[in-house]
Amino acid sequence: MSHPGGYYDLDRNITGSVGGYSAPGAGSVEAYSIPGVPFVSSSVPFELTDNTSPTRIQFPMVTNWVNITNTNPDNAKSSALRFGFTRNGVLDPTGAGQGQGRHFNILSGNQSTFQLEVRCKEMWFNGDSAEENTDVTTTGVGFCVAAGLTMIPNYNFPDLTGSNGGIYSGVG
């Protein structure tokens, strides 16, 4: 096939593209270089009342940063909050079950993370009774998550899972 002027534009022949444009994906550097669109979601106070039923927050688009706050007062009996990137990751603190290790972070009452520069399409939250002097089954724990969203659709980002022993084994 002959091309005018001897020029052939490979970008216009990408499978799945429309008019030479393909939607941004996980490796789209440009999507992370501009400030994110704001997203905020909060639980009801003391929502997480046991450490076996985690709550999932699904972001409408892929994040480029997140900030998490434990909304319990710092003196609450059950003020510990687990957060991570998979359901299995926030369930098993001992490594005895499916999570195979501690793939979550813990925030005590009235604490916040710094701005975490992470790309994800969902996060998981759970109460934590493993910390000293906490009993999440008594009163529960609440949280707030704020994020900056990219323009990358969720379906163009991989599922983060450690279940298959792949490259995401650190998330549970």
Return the domain boundaries, the chain.
36-157
How confident is the model over 35-41, as a mean pLDDT? 92
170: pLDDT confidence band, cut at 50, 70 and 90? low
Q: Which tokens is 7 given?
A: 């020029």
pLDDT tens-digit series, residues 81-137:
888 888 888 876 554 444 445 667 888 888 899 899 999 999 999 887 655 444 555
pLDDT tens-digit series, residues 140-150:
788 999 999 99
Query: Is 71 buried (19+), middle (13-18) or exposed (0-12) by CB count in 10 A?
Result: buried
Q: What is the largest CA-CA distance in the chain?
A: 76
Distance CA 171, CA 165 (A): 10
Q: Which residue has the higher pLDDT, 116 or 159?
A: 116
pLDDT of residue 128: 77
Query: Is 75 buried (19+), middle (13-18) or exposed (0-12) by CB count in 10 A?
Result: exposed
Distance CA 55, CA 60 (A): 16
H helices of the chain, in order, are: 29-32, 87-91, 136-139
80: CB partners within 8 A, 6+ apart: 70, 106, 107, 108, 109, 127, 128, 129, 130, 131, 134, 136, 141
CATH architecture of the domain formed by 36-157? Sandwich (2.60)
